[in-house]
């Protein structure tokens, strides 16, 4: 957004009257999930930064062993894994980083 603002700032209020910032496809807040629909809805938390974030979150909460354990999506969804203590922990972390992500985007958009 900074690059966009710098490039087009002379057009704001003249040519550009409004800018809409998307937070995800179809208005759904989620991290990019790939180039096709085959990954639709999958957890996107496997890169080094996300893994480090999960490890820190787990360590801060006294369960460091969960910091290197991303739930298997099939088991998580088909066997009500979200109802387990580990599942609730994971969703607390995952939804928290999504909220942090959107807050960052919205701050920049202002």
Instruction: Render pLDDT for 58-91 as a digit per residue (tens, 0 to 9).
Output: 999 999 999 987 777 767 777 788 888 988 999 9
The residue-averaged pLDDT of 37-61 equals 82
Predicted pLDDT at 8: 93
95: pLDDT strictly greater than 80: yes
Tell me the pLDDT band of 33, cut-offs 50, 70 and 90. Answer: low
Other CB atoms closer than 10 Å to residue 80's CB: what's the count?
A: 10
- Computed from CA positions of residues 74, 79, 80, 81, in that sequence, does the dihedral angle turn out positive or negative? negative
Predicted pLDDT at 63: 95
29: pLDDT strictly greater than 90: no
Contact 67, 57 (CB under 8 A): yes
Q: Which residues pair with 16 in a beta bridge?
A: 12
Tell me the pLDDT band of 36, cut-offs 50, 70 and 90. Answer: low
Quick one: which of 20, 21, 45, 19 has its CA closest to 32?
45
Predicted pLDDT at 34: 55
């Amino acid at each position: 957004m900074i690059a966009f603002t710098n490039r087009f700032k002379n057009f704001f209020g003249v040519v550009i009257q409004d800018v809409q910032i998307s937070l995800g496809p179809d208005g759904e807040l989620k991290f990019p999930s790939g180039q096709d629909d085959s990954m639709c809805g999958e957890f996107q938390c496997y890169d080094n930064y996300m893994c480090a974030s999960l490890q820190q979150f787990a360590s801060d909460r006294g369960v460091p062993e969960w910091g290197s354990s991303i739930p298997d999506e099939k088991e998580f969804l088909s066997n009500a894994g979200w109802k387990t203590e580990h599942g609730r922990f994971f969703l607390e972390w995952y939804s928290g980083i999504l909220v942090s992500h959107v807050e960052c985007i919205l701050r920049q958009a202002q």
